[in-house]
Chain A
Amino acid sequence: MPLAEFTAELSAMRAAAEAAFASAADADAVEAARIEFLGAKAGKLREAQKGLGAVAKDDKPAAGKHFNDAKQAIEAALAAAQERLNAGGAKQRTGPAFDATVPGTPLVLGHLHPITQTIEELKDIMGRLGFVVADGPEIEDEWHNFEALNIPPSHPARDPLENFYLSTAKAANPAGKTSATNEPTLLLRSQTSTVQIRVMEKTPPPVRIIALGRVYRPDTADATHYPMFHQIEGLLVDRHVTMADLKTVLRLFASSYLGSDVHIRFRPSFFPFTEPSVEVDMSWNDGWLEMGGAGMVDPHVLQAVGYDPDEVSGFAFGLGVERLCMRRHAIDDIREFYKNDVRFLQQF
């Protein structure tokens, strides 16, 4: 056997052995590699030793040196593998017992209120549909809460029992003196539609906004009513806006929110600030689920903010945030939202 062939085979075997020991993951694998390469009867090194006899006599010293190098390297690889695997174990044996099942150090995170989480998701979806968030005051005058929304003084919605009117400055501060004689009547807004008016008064069309926030209506608090709640309201006014656009936007919205393709159903309804007005349902488990109210912006409203109803048209819709949130998280009592029991808050 030529020396070159002998050394080549030896090198290949040495590389294979080193790789096997280096990659051995446990004691069994190390033992298997030891038998394969260093086994006394049929190990590959033993086989190579036999090959040494077949090398030409002149080459024998060189071949022998190669063989011894390879043998030392493989034995070193075995020792390294054994040491590597024993390292962890050695510590275990010397120190106290380690219990890996002990829980990790608690990382105490706070939780966002479920109403906030719902609002953020709704904003996010409507943002993707091109609606920007608009804001307005919670304490409103009658123009923005009623008149501009086509709710005349004779309308039952303006009944003092249906709203939280503010007492006049004089009544609130009996000791104080009334400075302004024609103070406007103020109230806590009963709907976020007030923001529509404020935005349209300042912005020429097109307008594409959502308004979100607290609204107030005198309901006695029970499992499904609370005198303060949150509304999301969308408004799109432009040339050529139709009810088909309204239905499409609501379908995209509902499908995005639920993560599946849903259908939208309109039922006729009545709101002073939209005409036609509809109740909106979305398909849900082979049935229909009420979403909220919607409609085409009433021409009176467009006129009230200085728009020309023959030039532009628009739609508006309003949804109750609490209702969406309660359904999504199977919450059965609206009062939980405002009790702020941390055991409740920490569930979301």
Chain B
Amino acid sequence: MLISWDWLRTYVPLTCSPGELTARLMMAGLNHESTTAADADWALDVEVTSNRPDCLGHIGVAREAAVLFGLPLTVPPAAANETGPAVASLTKVTVRCPELCTRYTARVIRGVKVGPSPTWLVKRLATIGIPPINNVVDITNYVLLECGQPLHAFDFAKLAGPEIIVRTAAQGEKLEAINHHTYELDAAMCVIADARVPVALGGVMGGAATEVSAATRDVLVEAAEFAPMSIRSTARKLNLHSDSSYRFERGVDPAGVDWASRRCCELILELCGGELAAGAIDSAPHVAPREPVTLRLAQLKRILGIDVDPPVARKILAALGCVERSAGEREVIVVPPTWRRDLSREIDLVEEVARINGYETIPEDVPVKMVPSTRSAVDRVAAKVRHVLTAAGFDEALTPSAVPEELSAPYSPWTDAPPLRCSVPVLRRADLLRRTLIPSLLEARRTNESLGNERIELFEAARVYLPDTDALPREESMLSLTSGRPFADVKGALEAVAAAVGGTGSASGAGAKVESSDYTHPLFDAAACCLTLDGEPWGILGELSPAGLKQFDLRGKATVAEVRFDRLLEIARLIPKYTPLVAFPAIDRDLNFVVAENVRWADLSATVRAAAGEHLERLQYVETYRNAKDPQLGRERKSLLLSLRLRSHLGTLTGDEADAIRNRIVAACQQRHGAELRA
């Protein structure tokens, strides 16, 4: 809201500088945006919050200034000299949609002389960026910016008949507005019409056909009140926003409608001459009185934490226009002014007292109660995960929750249900809520490839949005990775994550156990798997196939994984328990088996564990070796090298005991898997 400094001082005798004024206004709720010099005047730009439409006019801002500086506020009387015939003999108003137009007033002035406005008026409007049109139109603008009540003047002679009809538009009805654009209207919009056609879009903009011009002799002055919701929807539908619609959307002073009409007529008579018809047509002259509001004085201390002297509080409320009904020791009852619809509850009065009294009086060093707070399990697990992944060389990415079709459609490991869609895209074309993070990370991978970045190791912990039959969709936290390293490296990172959260595994079965099973998907290579964590589904992991790389427009190799964060929460052992260390020495034994290609580590290792018994402390996979030219291996067989650590908690194992265990393992593996020892 732009304010002319000169104009403002016609209502309040300020002796301070514009800078002092804007500083005080800012601390009372009107944020200062800028101050610009304008032809011996200053244009002060202040931000008016949506709850304070009363400050969308100079008088409203002047009232705030008067309260803050303890100065009197002078509001013009708006006494227009009515010398003409009764207005009812000249025109008639019918409001057919009182729910959209809650009040309509009309006054008529005949015999005006339309011409340029005087310099003072042109200058004041120029300060706040309003170009001059002609004296009548300038006056309607002036009064709008004086009190915040929009006005419109019709060329009375151009109306088809003397009657004004306020109605909803016929579907498809057209109106050329004064901006010379033609709008097609719908049945939810409120129009001001004459006997034939709409002549104005109620509360938004006047029509071109009846606008005041140099030839105008008689004018009809409209001051009305329109329903905020209807104005907002009309302005939005037509993408037509005006000073009028802005104010009606926020609500005008219901008692100020008539004042504005009289003020407008007073100025027209003064600057354009003419004869004002007696009285006004008013569709709803009765303004509902405001309900009184009780302020329990103890609430000031209870909410603000400071003592405000009751006389000070009462003085503030009175200066703001509240009329005191009664004042006792414990409470005051006031009737708020009509222009302050935002004041209807006790807490509203508390805020008024607080902001005028000044928030600087509230201390910033009171004792605040101490209470314990515990870090949540989610946060603790997340911290462990981040430690592991950054140690493993992964950078953390944050990618948008909404994705375009090409990132949503190709892959959805968690659900077959179509993605949730936003009614407008969150980012360009991205209107689908993602069901997996993998495509987003691959997109980030592609961005980095195109930037020539070499090491692209990314992880993200974020939610996916899975449609559900419940009221709210299922939001699941996922941990997702993308890497240029091969399958085994990423699997190792995930196993490390599981171990960090669930404890390190051992032969006794303690700790988190990551297991894999086959996974086939066109976007993935053979090196891909489903993962379980302690027996429950955890996620997927794999190297992208050539088709997968092509799908996401990637040049280099890419491995991806996505696992359920909540599964980590379920298996988390945030406070590990000490396992007593066995003092007896361990014995290590290596085994190099030759097995058929279809023998899998998971099966062989299970046999090893079962055969080894209680003394197996650790079973380590070392490597797989293939060599078609090796006579013992050939094309159909591979060698698996594994390492055992054996230890007894009862005493030192002897070499013979260790060999016996080893022999049991060899026998079992041969029997179950046809494994033979490497020659």
CB distance from B215 to the nearest CB of A (A): 40
- Give residues of chain A (139-195) contacting chain B, Cβ–Cβ below 8 Å: 139-141, 154, 156, 159-161, 164-167, 169, 171-173, 176, 179, 184, 186, 188
Contacts of A138 on B, CB cut-off 8 Å? Answer: 401, 463, 465, 475
Q: Given the known inter-chain contacts A127-B375, A172-B420, A248-B368, please indicate yes or no for A110 contacting B392, CB distance below 8 A.
A: yes
A330 interface contact, C-beta 8 A: no
B373 interface contact, C-beta 8 A: yes
- Chain A, interface size category, equals 35 or more
Q: Interface segment, B103-111, B453-461, B556-564?
A: B453-461
- By the criterion CB–CB under 8 Å, are B472 and A244 in contact? no
A266 interface contact, C-beta 8 A: yes
Contacts of B375 on A, CB cut-off 8 Å? Answer: 127, 133
Q: Given the known inter-chain contacts A242-B305, A276-B355, A340-B447, please indicate yes or no for A299 contacting B345, CB distance below 8 A.
A: yes
A228 interface contact, C-beta 8 A: yes
**Which of A112, A127, A265 touches B390 (beta carbons < 8 Å)?**
A112
Q: Given the known inter-chain contacts A228-B400, A249-B368, A278-B359, please indicate yes or no for A111 contacting B390, CB distance below 8 A.
A: yes
Chain B residue nearest to A344 (CB atoms) is B395
A257 interface contact, C-beta 8 A: no
A304 interface contact, C-beta 8 A: no
- By the criterion CB–CB under 8 Å, are A109 and B473 in contact? no
B202 interface contact, C-beta 8 A: no
Q: Given the known inter-chain contacts A242-B305, A247-B362, A340-B458, please indicate yes or no for A110 contacting B345, CB distance below 8 A.
A: no
CB distance from B245 to the nearest CB of A (A): 12
In the assembled complex, the Cα of A208 lies from the Cα of B372 at a distance in Å of 10
Q: Given the known inter-chain contacts A218-B424, A242-B303, A338-B399, please indicate yes or no for A110 contacting B364, CB distance below 8 A.
A: no
In the assembled complex, the Cα of A313 lies from the Cα of B423 at a distance in Å of 38
Chain B interface residue count, CB cutoff 8 Å, equals: 90
> Which residue, A137, A264, A338, A342, has most C-beta atoms of chain B within 10 A?
A342
Chain B residue nearest to A112 (CB atoms) is B396
In the assembled complex, the Cα of A130 lies from the Cα of B402 at a distance in Å of 34
Mask: chain A, 124-141; 1 = CB below 8 Å from B; 0 = not:
000111111101011111
CB distance from A71 to the nearest CB of B (A): 48
In the assembled complex, the Cα of A298 lies from the Cα of B365 at a distance in Å of 23
Q: Interface segment, B275-283, B346-354, B652-660?
A: B346-354
Mask: chain B, 292-327; 1 = CB below 8 Å from A; 0 = not:
000000000111111000000000000000000000
In the assembled complex, the Cα of A298 lies from the Cα of B31 at a distance in Å of 22
- By the criterion CB–CB under 8 Å, are A264 and B472 in contact? no
In the assembled complex, the Cα of A265 lies from the Cα of B360 at a distance in Å of 7
Contacts of A313 on B, CB cut-off 8 Å? Answer: 302-303
**Which of B370, B376, B426 touches A132 (beta carbons < 8 Å)?**
B376
- Give residues of chain B (428-462) contacting chain A, Cβ–Cβ below 8 Å: 433, 444, 447-448, 451, 453, 455-459, 462
Chain B residue nearest to A155 (CB atoms) is B50
Q: Given the known inter-chain contacts A108-B393, A112-B390, A267-B26, please indicate yes or no for A340 contacting B444, CB distance below 8 A.
A: yes
Q: Given the known inter-chain contacts A109-B390, A154-B229, A269-B49, please indicate yes or no for A130 contacting B347, CB distance below 8 A.
A: no
- By the criterion CB–CB under 8 Å, are B368 and A245 in contact? yes
A46 interface contact, C-beta 8 A: no
A337 interface contact, C-beta 8 A: yes
Q: Given the known inter-chain contacts A115-B398, A244-B305, please indicate yes or no for A139 contacting B473, CB distance below 8 A.
A: yes
**Which of B232, B347, B419, B475 touches A156 (beta carbons < 8 Å)?**
B232
Q: Given the known inter-chain contacts A112-B396, A343-B453, please indicate yes or no for A270 contacting B364, CB distance below 8 A.
A: no
- By the criterion CB–CB under 8 Å, are B399 and A268 in contact? no
B290 interface contact, C-beta 8 A: no
- By the criterion CB–CB under 8 Å, are A342 and B455 in contact? yes
CB distance from A217 to the nearest CB of B (A): 10
A56 interface contact, C-beta 8 A: no
Contacts of B372 on A, CB cut-off 8 Å? Answer: 130
CB distance from A223 to the nearest CB of B (A): 15
Q: Given the known inter-chain contacts A127-B373, A228-B400, please indicate yes or no for A188 contacting B426, CB distance below 8 A.
A: yes
- By the criterion CB–CB under 8 Å, are A269 and B393 in contact? no
In the assembled complex, the Cα of A251 lies from the Cα of B472 at a distance in Å of 37
A116 interface contact, C-beta 8 A: yes
Contacts of A279 on B, CB cut-off 8 Å? Answer: 31
B389 interface contact, C-beta 8 A: yes
- By the criterion CB–CB under 8 Å, are B458 and A342 in contact? yes
- By the criterion CB–CB under 8 Å, are A267 and B447 in contact? no
A–B Cβ pairs within 8 angstroms, 26 of them: A109-B391, A111-B395, A113-B398, A132-B376, A156-B249, A164-B422, A179-B469, A186-B420, A188-B401, A206-B371, A242-B301, A244-B363, A245-B305, A247-B364, A248-B368, A252-B368, A264-B364, A267-B359, A268-B29, A268-B351, A269-B31, A270-B50, A276-B303, A278-B359, A342-B457, A343-B453
Top 8 A-B pairs, shortest CB-CB distance: A242-B305, A244-B305, A268-B29, A266-B359, A270-B49, A110-B390, A276-B351, A130-B371
> B residues engaging A (CB < 8 A)?
26-29, 31, 49-52, 228-229, 232, 236, 249, 301-306, 345, 347-348, 350-351, 354-355, 359-360, 362-366, 368-376, 378-379, 383, 386, 389-402, 418-424, 426-427, 433, 444, 447-448, 451, 453, 455-459, 462-463, 465, 467, 469, 471-473, 475
